Structure 1
Amino acid sequence: MKITKAIFCIIIGFLGTVTAQTLPNDSWQKTQANGKGTITVLWHDAKPFHYYDEAGKHTGIDHDLMVAMTRFVEAKYKVKLDIQWHKAQTYAEFYNSIKDGTGGIFGAAAFSITPERKKVMRFSPTYMPDIEIIVSHPELPTFNSIGELINSPDFTKYTAVSVKNTTFDKSLVALKNKLAPNLSVKYVTNTHEIVQTINQNPYHFGYIHLPIYALALKNGLRLKRQKLLQIQREGYAVMYPLKSDWGKVIEEFFNSTEFKPLINKVTKQHVGTQVKDLIWDVSAKNNKELALLTKENELQSLRLKKNQLEIEQSKLRLERQAFYQVMLIVGVVIILILGVVLYSRYQIKQRSNQALRDKNTEIKKQRDEIELMHTELKDSISYAQQIQQAMMPHQTRLTQAFPENFVIYRPKEMLSGNFYWLNDRQNLKLLAVADCAGRGVPGAFLTMMGTLMLNHVVRESKRTTPEDALTLMDKLVQRTLTSDAANLAIDISLCCIDYHKKIIKFTGAHSSLFIVNNGRLKQIQGDKHPVGKGLYNAKNPLTMNLIEFEKGDVLYLLTNGFQNQLGGNNGHNKKFMLLRIKDLLVEINSQPLEEQKQRLENELEKWRGQNEQTDDILMLGVQL
């Protein structure tokens, strides 16, 4: 048996030596001489120190720390460093690769400094407190001393979870040898597996790093901290070979003025402010148990608030869905009301023809009834107007998305056939302006239908690219309206503004986009057909325009009501025309948007003169 163990140790040592020799690395002397070099960083899964994010990208505190070190060295010594990441499968691979290495080989994965390790490898200055705690499944009782643990009636069922040859393992082995020789130990590959195993098994416990516990608690994992055998070491450090000549460079980086702000920034980025503060506060305070309890309560309170916020957001979504359903019902009710009013007028006219013998009395009666109907009709249309305006974005919501903006919204009648629409998704903002066929009540019904369809297409069908959204909207309009309504369609401009990529995606159906900056105007024309005609398909797709934008660009979306307004000098009754609008936009470009709105409205009124308003008018301007 002893011979077998010896052979096994020789094989592990040999493999570690081979690994150290085969990993690409250069000495600091060679790197300086050549002006470039390669270093290798060994790591393993241990969130938040090393992990893959949702996009599959390798990241973490130690990852970002080593990347920052290479940039520091490159900037100071004018050399080019290539960093190679090697994911170690076992701790023995870590240990032997560093112990037997000679050049630019580093281990960075929340490593503890111990007297034994100092004999065979070197360490950087510490960059984070090193506190190890025992955690268990929440169904285990809370033990305040080692005596309570080993004297528990169920102690024979307990299993300790650890990673071989780590400080966790040494602490558990010392506990087992001294006080609990019958304790069962289960070995896993990394710290992440320790957390998952304990979370899933009621009788399991083990040592983990304090930052990993705090992050798991913040994310809602089921873990309980045991109030015994807490261990605080010198701190986490990067380890490298005794024979390495990179020591001077390592010391310069960790002792530089920019290092402390850097470690605070990357720690906050990967664990959050609360967890970062917990780590440093607990390590600095004498009463660590009280500090831990305080911070645990803060994290649990934060998690409860987060859960409550998610519940409220879900409730808000349900309320919005209910609101849209109510709007549909209200639309039907308006139709019924109008039908009843029209039928009542017909009945009144019939009765008046049959009552000619009592003209004076009947005429007065008719007059009173007509006045009542007029009041009811006006009230109904006024209520419909309120509904229509409520379905469009409130000025507060528009200002939250675009702090600098203006809206010129002038229905020809009480109800408008024009509408604008907004969907705000953090870095993505979708903005639309539409002109529906018809004015008044028919146009208003189309605006309600168009708004609901845009909400369905973007929020439920998840179409966020303008051409996809308008293509689906074109099909929905065709399916909703009968063939008798073939002349009903919607001119629409739809923009998707990506602040992260500084790109505007624009698709227009019989409508254009105007962008003005520094006195230069750019017009992006849309396709020539409106949506609702069924003219867009795979063979004749809508066009998506990609436009890069700069800070300060002003976007203008408008319907054709402005340019078609009749008026002018000497009563010639000419149209205002698009060219005049474009010249005016260039002229007023340097003014604040509120002043631009006032100037545009003044020019429109001056041009209209005594004429009636020709059409519904809608113009929207936003500054990026």
Structure 2
Amino acid sequence: MRASVGFFIIITGIIGEVGAQTNQVVYEYDSIKMASLYARSRDQRIKNPELSLELGQEFLDMAKKSKNKAKEAVALENLARIFFNIGSYSRTLEYFFDVLRIAEEQGDSFNQAITLNNIGIVYGENGQLEKALEYYGKSLAIKEELGNQEAIVNTLSNIGLIYDELGEYEKGFDSYTKALNIDRKRQYVDGIFVSLNNLGQNFLKRGLYDSALVYFKESWNLGTTVENDYDKAHLLNNMAAAYLGKGKTTEAEEFYLRAIALAEKIKARLRLRESYLGLSRVYDVMSDYGKSLEFYKRYEYLKDSLFNEEKLQKINEIEADYKIKKKESEVNLIKKESEIQDLRRSQTRLVAYLLISCLFLFGTLIFVLYKRNQFKIKANKDLELKNNEILTKNIDIMDSIAYAKSIQESFLPDPRILNKFFTNSFIYYKARDVINGDFFWFADEEDYLIFAVVDCTGHGVPGALITVMGNSLLNEIVSEKRILYPSEILTELNYRVLHTLNQENYQGNNNEGMDVAIGRFDKGSMKLSFAGAKRPLYYFRDNHLHVIKGDSHSVGGTFYAKDRDYKEHEIYLNKNDTFYVFTDGYADQFGGENNKKFLPGRFKDLICEIQGDDMEKQREILDRKFRYWKGEREQTDDILVMGVLI
């Protein structure tokens, strides 16, 4: 398991205050040197772990000598992070427990919470998932009591990762969603980037690759403002895994190679290990067994060499060498004691020089601020001009979309055709964007009515283009070619969509299609004939719900065989029976207290609840329930529901 949110850093000052005792200059020198050692060690953690460890050990030795517990805690936490990066989890835990002990002795609740979280990360990486949950729970309880939102997000994300590893994906989803909502309120882009990646990984582990890619792509779009290359490499590996799950080996290979390039740049060996194993699987699927074996060997080598005994021995040698250097430094300090005395006597002169320097720096600062303000004024003017240009373009685009909406609506049939056959009916029609990817269609054949509700691939402009094509094809099939039975209409519609979108040879780059519920109502015999492409028909008789399922393949698209047959169902309706056809948008809406989908089962219960009300009242209830469920969230999909009372 990999923590998507890294360790939090112990919050404390590195450069301490300087006392008035006789060794004042020595302490100033020590504080500055410790701050320098810490900064250099931190900067080298990924690029040069051995140098980072060497600098970090010297920092710890100096902190212990100064008897400053706050600095000692920072030094221990720094070493723990270094050992974690090179894969030595036992050493990592040893240092983190030392940090926790200091925080408890000092009564420092905040740093206790941070360290408990960090210990949870180490246990998670080491596969001890229940122990990880235990420490995350302790950390979260303290953070919630303190009310620190950034720290709460960190632990929520890590808890989600543990639940994913345990296969409890809904609990993981809830944790990530809570973290995402907090970071969106704070407008914290780095946190949103990580939470979106975690949500995508949650769906990836479930095998829901399309949903995973939605979150991964949204996370990647934020990447231009995020500087964390380690997490970017992780995201690229996740996207590659999703494409591999979808069978898109070319895209999977591309993203794994991009991840390798980034991981090699920052020397992130854990990320390289993920990429090598993923590429091995890609080439295995592509039947390139030579390359598959090559990358699997790289994976095995990197896994075994992340942190071996030879490197541990080398680190111990570095530690011993450093102790020698430290002793030499102490000797040098004693020799310089006389020089320190001279420095103390010249302190007054130094203060004068310092004041002069401060005056010079102050004047320079005033000049820089003036120039900066002039630059800012010019930049604001340029920005205002650009904003006006963008506003004008946006107005033009929205005008075009509004006009496109009027064109799309002109293709829709007159709802009065439905009223001619059914005096008590409704159509609940709600686009996600300005223009719709769902549409309804009627054909009045005097003694009977042919009707359809259609859910086209996509939303907005892409979906609207498919609706225009679908409407036109249905008119040709029924009005011109005189195909009048629902199952035959669907068969012909499938053929024409495949031909129109050049999908017949499965060589196109598009997979557009539509899910359709289509019926024919004979007014004389009260017979309803129905066929469905992934859409059902609900009908009620004597307050009892009956469901007629559609076939399991869509119209158009390349996921299914070219030649598709659709089953035709026939029922005879009675007075006061009701029936409903609908797209999947209502059931797919995210909302409620836990931001989950409404789901078909809840939609079915709602349809049952509104029986007995007239159809206009039913439409109002559906709309009110939808708005309440959605709340302030964005609409997920286009919505279309048609209901009829016989």
With the shorter chain as reference, the TM-score category is: 0.3 to 0.5
Q: TM-score, normalised by structure 1?
A: 0.41
Bigger RCO of structures 1 and 2 (CA < 8 A, at least 6 apart): 1
Say which structure is richer in helix: 2
Q: TM-score, normalised by structure 2?
A: 0.39
Who wins on radius of gyration, i.e. which is larger? 1
